[in-house]
Chains A and B, each alone.
Chain A
Amino acid sequence: MNGWTLAATVGLAGGLGTALWGVATGPLRRRVVAQNLSTALACPSLLLLSQAYNRPSYVDLGLVLALLGPVGTLVFARLLADELAEDPPRTWAATWAVAGLGAAAVIALCVATGPGRAMVKLLVIGALLIIGNIVASRALSGGFRGVRGG
């Protein structure tokens, strides 16, 4: 077991465990935030696993999750807009903490891979992850009121 596997294991157990507990208990506003953060926490773990197994093609999983995770959260933000408008979630502290974790993982992986196409891909995934996470959090806390209805 190398350090990458250890980091991924700790990230999975701590991060996804917490997200799972948050999504299974409590009021609806906490559940949607936990669902959003679960994708943002799983993506860095997948990237770390790809480095741990020494298989660069596994990075595609992180790319797909960084793209589709916020889409899933936007589905909930759109279809639960009425319930969430009565009791808007407070997301910012958790969102920035998770974004920082993702950025730290991506930077560590970039240092390990060295310059080249693989590093550009990792940076693109990190940017997609953080931007998607912030957009989804803003949608959950009612930042896009103009697009409601229908």
Chain B
Amino acid sequence: MADAVIVVALLLVVAAATAAVTTRDPVRQALVLAVLGVVLAVLFTVLQAPDVGLSQLAVGSALTPLLLMLTVRKVRRRGRGKERER
């Protein structure tokens, strides 16, 4: 019965990863990726690896979304600048 929490965490990771892949818009994908980071940290915790979970939390919940969003912003600005040149 103690495996139920592991099964739940695994199912959540599968669902979150599938949702991240099937989302097309990069901004919305960043949102799903942030949730995926949290869910992965929970999975590592229930598998008794809290140290991995800690680093996953730091990277997955704040750093990856920040990098993605900054990239999207820069790409969009460059696109707008080129349209203005034409």
Contact = CB atoms under 8 A, between A and B. Distances in A.
A75 to B, nearest CB: 5
Chief secondary structure at chain A's binding surface: helix
A23 B35 CA distance: 8
A17 B61 CA distance: 17
A85 interface: no
Interface stretch (A56-64, A89-97, A101-109): A56-64
Contacts of B23: 24
Given A45-B42, A46-B45, A65-B38, 6 more contacts: A20-B16, A28-B27, A31-B31, A61-B45, A72-B61, A80-B69
Interface of B: 1-2, 4-5, 8-9, 12, 15-16, 19, 22-23, 27-28, 30-32, 34-35, 38-39, 41-42, 45-46, 48, 50, 53-54, 57-58, 61-62, 65-66, 69-70, 73
Interface of A: 1, 5, 8-9, 12-13, 16-17, 19-20, 23-24, 28, 31-32, 34-35, 38-39, 42, 45-46, 49, 53, 55, 57-58, 60-61, 64-65, 68-69, 71-72, 75-76, 79-80, 83
